[in-house]
Amino acid sequence: MLEALLDFPFWRPICAALSLGLLLPIFGRNLVLGRCVLLGLAAPQITMLGIVVAFNLAAMQWIGLQIFQDEGKLAILGGLAAGIPTLLLAGRLGASQRLVEPVLLCVYLGAGSATNLLLAAGPVGEPYLRDLLQGRLLLVSEGALLALLTFVGAGAGICLFFQRRLLLVLSDPEYAQITGIKVARWKQAQLLLGGMATGMAVAVAGPTVTFALLVLPALTSAMLTKSLNAHLYVSCLLGAVGALGGFALSLWRDWPSGDCVTGTVCVIYAAALSYARRKEC
């Protein structure tokens, strides 16, 4: 049975899509509850810039990067090196609410432009990086899939284990502070886990797919549910349906898998928004 499954040509991208769809909304819900949706947009793009920088440093024979001959491992290194500090620094920026939105928008645009300029100036690993920008699900390797399951799965498990504490910190920080909880440290911890998950997801599936599965299922679920527990479960369900449905569409129509996954998640969000507005009327 296992051998037959491994012989199936698309088992790796299907597992990657399902894992991303199920696990990323766990981190995305924390961003939504913490009112950091724009951070979910900026962080994947900054992470992509970190991956491009890592490729260029390796091409320049930068000390320590020569051992990463495999492009997938180099992408994971760049993703983690950029994703983790990005969310941690953004957590400190969040202390100034008046600046956080314009700064994140500026950083997002700057990171996107810098990524394209680096690719244009020196086409180091250009085929790999161009595929990653479009969503590289079809070409995911066994090693990348294992790393994805390890890092993102571990982070999601920790978030679920401390779910009640994180919910209190994110949804009612004033009360959490009164009860003696160190709110700042818990927020930094969840951003650290989110940065690790974002770095891995961007290295495997690209920034667009990561943002779509990170934030949109949680935003969609918020319109359809009332309890926090239902919000979590529906977010993960919608993420999995969007990821697998988009990948199935890409195979059926022979379209780019990343764009199909992103488009499917957007259609689900639009349908939920339409339903919620009709229900209000």
The rounded average pLDDT for each run of 10 residues, N- to C-terminus, in the chain (281 residues) is 53 92 94 82 86 79 58 82 77 56 77 82 73 83 90 94 90 86 86 90 92 94 89 95 94 89 95 86 68
Q: How far apart are CA 242 and CA 254, in angstroms?
A: 17
Residue 118 lies in a domain: yes
Torsion of CA 88, 92, 95, 99, to 10 degrees: -90
Residue 200 lies in a domain: yes
Phi, psi at residue 160, to the nearest 5°?
-70, -35
Q: What is the pTM of this model?
A: 0.89
Residue 195 lies in a domain: yes
Q: What is the pLDDT of residue 2?
A: 42
170 Cβ partners below 8 Å, 6+ apart?
30, 33, 34, 187, 190
CATH of the domain at 183: 1.10.3470.10
Residue 281 lies in a domain: no
Q: What is the DSSP string of 181-250?
A: --HHHHHHHHHHHHHHHHHHHHHHH-HHHHHHHHHHHHHHHHHH-SSHHHHHHHHHHHHHHHHHHHHHHH
Q: How far apart are CA 211 and CA 80, in angstroms?
A: 16
Domain hosting 125: range is 2-275
Residue 232 lies in a domain: yes
* Number of structural domains found in the chain: 1
Q: What angle do CA 4, 21, 267 make, to 5 degrees?
A: 115
Q: What is the DSSP string of 64-111?
A: TTTT--SHHHHHHHHHHHHHHHHHHHHHHHTTSHHHHHHHHHHHHHHH
Q: What is the pLDDT of residue 4?
A: 43
